[in-house]
Structure 1
Amino acid sequence: MSFVLPRRTALLSAAATLAAPAAIAQEGPIRIGEINSYSAQPAFLAPYRNAWALIQHEVNAAGGINGRRIETVFRDDAGKPEDAVRHAGELLNNERVHILAGGFLSNVGLALSDFANQNRRLFVASEPLTDALVWSRGNRYTYRLRCSTYMQAAMLVEEAAKLPPMRWATVAPNYEYGQSAVRWFKELLLRAKPGTTFVAEQFPAQGRIDAGATVQALASANPQAIFNVTFATDLTNFVRQGTTRGLFEGRTVVSMLTGEPEYLGPLGDEAPEGWIVTGYPVADIQNPGHVRFRDAYRARFNELPKLGSIVGADTVTAIAAMLRKTGSTETEHMVDGMSGLTYSGAFGEAESEFRALDHQATMGAYVGKTGLRDGRGVMLNWRYCDGKNYLPTDDVVRSMRPQG
């Protein structure tokens, strides 16, 4: 999700000097250093951390990894790449963690990935959605769990291409995540439906949208359909202003992330109806794996999980699966162990695999339409899209990812 990172090279070089790899004793707890934007994105990351604790407890209660407990040392980067890099150095040098994990915003994830590559330490990126993380700036030491902007754009284009509109407008936060999402949606829709035109683009600053001006600019272009990538408070403000000013009347809206409970829930009875979205229909998924996770989460935290909960749970599950596979906390062994690793996630759907080709997991997403039920927003007519079906060909990936 990338701002230009001031002094990034200097910061990474300084951190690299501090964080020379140390010998790791093969006894005692296995320590994970988890860095995330807890204070900046609490709606997603509070449920994420809850689920992390739940799965870590389950792993340890079952005997840990060959008798070794998993421990996690958490750090808050406040959405700042320079703070994330500083925390990474401190976690390696002072806390002696074996693995780095986490990341929410794409610019933070890219900074942590660069750090991991310089220091030759494994980084399991939980959430950062930018494709650069595994393609143009991919490296040996970084693996990413969450399905990316390309994958979610491809899922949404599959639906959008079936619809009549030919004149589209886009709105997305002005940093790596938003720019990447718009790029792929445009490219994939033009490929699927030649003759499509894009008549307006709006890129408001993340967390500081002027929703009235944004809505007015989109309406002035008179699109037939809108692709939206805003989330959190920006989404709430955009929906309210768009509804008040009639932007959505008679127009198709396709929207990334909007079906996630952490973003749909706060809209209450103002939730839009009929938007095509990616998300998580938490209360309606009834496969046994998901029911087990949902019931365990609700029993412990007295609430339904959110999409952040899925990402937190799956990150710990994947790390534990890798540790069982390798039987080692030596970095190069763990990095090799992540390649081709499969695990069963909290969605309870198809197994996910961390692809050897680009280190992208095949975790999927749900696509459906927004609706109202009992005065709150829900996903309707949804289906699960297996991530492995929404990636470019291997040859295209090789052309984008650095070799060696």
Structure 2
Amino acid sequence: MRISARTPLLSRTASALLLAGLGASAAQAAGVIKIGEINSYKNQPAFLEPYKRGMELAVDEVNRAGGVNGKKLELITRDDNANPGDTVRVAEELIAREKVDVLAGGFLSNTGMALTDFAKQRKFFYLATEPLTDKMVWSNGNAYTFRLRPSTYMQVSMLVEEALKLKKKRWALVYPNYEYGQSSVATFKAKMKAAQPDVEFVTEQATVLGKVDAGSVVQALADAKPDAIFNVLFATDLTKFVREGNTRGLFKDRNVVSVLSGEPEYLDTLKAETPNGWIVTGYPVHSLKTPEHKAFFDAYQAKYKDYPRQGSVVGYAGIKSLAEGIKKAGSTDTDALIKAFEGLQVVSPFGPITWRAQDHQSTMGAYVGKLKNVGGKGELVDYVYRDGKDYLPSDEEVRKMRPQ
């Protein structure tokens, strides 16, 4: 547009405003959508290194397809040092300095809860990818927080179905003594007692996260003489517990029901020490042949020359959900995003999931099966997919639990 000296002042002003507007629109269209992701990368590398790869694969796929609403995704990651205080500090820095559009991440339940509260205080959209605590979407839930993975309530409910089939009376409990472990055990005890009133819990071993004294824990469990064990330990604590339990014969002729223990990142570490017959939630990465999973598996292997882990699925599905939500909202405006995510449907490597409006929990499920040591490596066998929607409380129950 050419503006001459003879153009009337009003016309020249209008033209200038139009040019400025076109420039702003062009800059906005050429911009990026910044995802600020916070996690315990140094503290939990077995899960979070594959998780980061899953996110990066999804970002690449979205950007190759043209981005979201004409914008490319940019992933900005930070480490929270597995500390709630550091988590909040980093979240503030991502918003103030990096100008991120949304927050995502969290692995440990305590850091996830810190982000949940931060999102509420700052009225900022937060997608919790990994934290499993029930409080995140129920008693401490808020409008700004959405959670991807099946919670402790959901996964424990799936396992209780299998535990009841064992018809065992005397149960021992072992778990990390923080929110995730405490809520897992509380759900297990309540559901078992409701369905099998004569059940007994003969000992509880609550351990310090990351610092399990496996020898004393295994000895205490053996002394209690349980018929079966419910285990919630994971990562290095799980490895130490299994090693000591195998050495002392704790698992011989004794049923074990265990949360998360069938995930590849933990089986990779256990290797030949993988116990046979444990009933677990996990991910049958090598034998799962659904179309959604095959497409994801092939793309992941082509990019990284390695197979995905549970974390890879979570990271990938988290980014894909954000992309679909932002696309539906037409922007990264917080209120628009909240509205878009309520009822949003996304295809994940585990199949279709829906983000529930009533509690902001996704319906992603989990695989339930048994551990088997095959040639010195642990695998999940005899598994079945449990759809998350079948293990969530009703709308009426959610209304009672969730703040108004």
Q: TM-score range by the shorter chain?
A: over 0.9
Is 1:55 the counterpart of 2:43? The answer is no
Is 1:68 the counterpart of 2:57? The answer is no
Give the counterpart of 1:102 among 105, 129, 137. 105
Give the counterpart of 1:203 among 201, 206, 210. 206
**Where do residues 287-326 of structure 1 align in structure 2 (5 Å cutoff)?**
287-326=290-329
Aligned to 1:246: 249
Name the SS for the 1:194 alignment partner: coil
Distance 1:337 1:393 in 2: 22
Is 1:79 the counterpart of 2:82? The answer is yes
Aligned to 1:401: 402
Name the SS for the 2:207 alignment partner: coil
Name the SS for the 2:244 alignment partner: helix
Identity across aligned pairs (percent)? 55
Give the conservation status (yes or no) of the 8 Å contact 1:167–1:196: yes
Aligned to 1:20: none
Name the SS for the 1:172 alignment partner: strand
Aligned to 1:46: 49
Distance 1:150 1:197 in 2: 20
Is 1:129 the counterpart of 2:137? The answer is no
Residue 374 of structure 1 and its aligned partner are, at CA, apart by 2.1
Counterpart AA for 1:176: E
**Where do residues 165-244 of structure 1 align in structure 2 (5 Å cutoff)?**
165-244=168-247
Residue 250 of structure 1 and its aligned partner are, at CA, apart by 1.4
Residue 151 of structure 1 and its aligned partner are, at CA, apart by 0.2
Residue 164 of structure 1 and its aligned partner are, at CA, apart by 2.2
Counterpart AA for 1:373: V
Distance 1:239 1:195 in 2: 28
**Deviations, residues 295-344 of structure 1 (Å, cap 9, x unaligned):** 11011111110000000000001001101111111111111111111101
Counterpart AA for 2:226: P
Distance 1:66 1:139 in 2: 27
Distance 2:299 2:217 in 1: 42
Distance 2:69 2:128 in 1: 24
Distance 1:252 1:26 in 2: 59
Query: In terms of Rg, which structure is larger?
Result: 2
Counterpart AA for 1:39: K
Aligned to 2:262: 259
Name the SS for the 2:184 alignment partner: helix
Name the SS for the 2:324 alignment partner: helix
Distance 2:82 2:69 in 1: 35
Aligned to 1:153: 156
Distance 1:336 1:92 in 2: 21
Is 1:392 the counterpart of 2:393? The answer is yes
Equivalent pairs, count: 378
**Deviations, residues 363-389 of structure 1 (Å, cap 9, x unaligned):** 000000000112100011000000000
Name the SS for the 2:242 alignment partner: helix
Residue 47 of structure 1 and its aligned partner are, at CA, apart by 0.3
Name the SS for the 2:393 alignment partner: coil
Residue 50 of structure 1 and its aligned partner are, at CA, apart by 0.5
Name the SS for the 2:124 alignment partner: coil
Stretches of 4+ moved more than 6 A in 1?
A: none
Aligned to 1:16: none
Distance 1:174 1:162 in 2: 28
Distance 1:316 1:39 in 2: 21
* Gap runs ≥5 in structure 1: 1-23
**Deviations, residues 165-213 of structure 1 (Å, cap 9, x unaligned):** 1110100001000000000011111122221111110011010000000
**Where do residues 275-294 of structure 1 align in structure 2 (5 Å cutoff)?**
275-294=278-297
Counterpart AA for 2:137: V
Aligned-residue CA RMSD (Å)? 1.1
Is 1:356 the counterpart of 2:364? The answer is no
Aligned to 1:8: none
Bigger shift: 159-168 or 391-400? 391-400
Counterpart AA for 1:236: T
Name the SS for the 1:65 alignment partner: coil
Give the conservation status (yes or no) of the 8 Å contact 1:26–1:329: no
**Deviations, residues 64-105 of structure 1 (Å, cap 9, x unaligned):** 012100101110001011111001101111100010000000
TM-score, structure 1 normalization = 0.92
**Deviations, residues 88-130 of structure 1 (Å, cap 9, x unaligned):** 1011111000100000000000000100100000000000000
Aligned to 1:5: none
Distance 2:257 2:395 in 1: 28
Aligned to 1:10: none
Residue 26 of structure 1 and its aligned partner are, at CA, apart by 4.9
Distance 2:221 2:183 in 1: 20
Counterpart AA for 2:378: G
Aligned to 1:379: 380
Give the conservation status (yes or no) of the 8 Å contact 1:279–1:365: yes
Name the SS for the 1:344 alignment partner: strand
Aligned to 1:4: none
Counterpart AA for 2:384: R
Give the conservation status (yes or no) of the 8 Å contact 1:26–1:328: no
Name the SS for the 2:348 alignment partner: coil
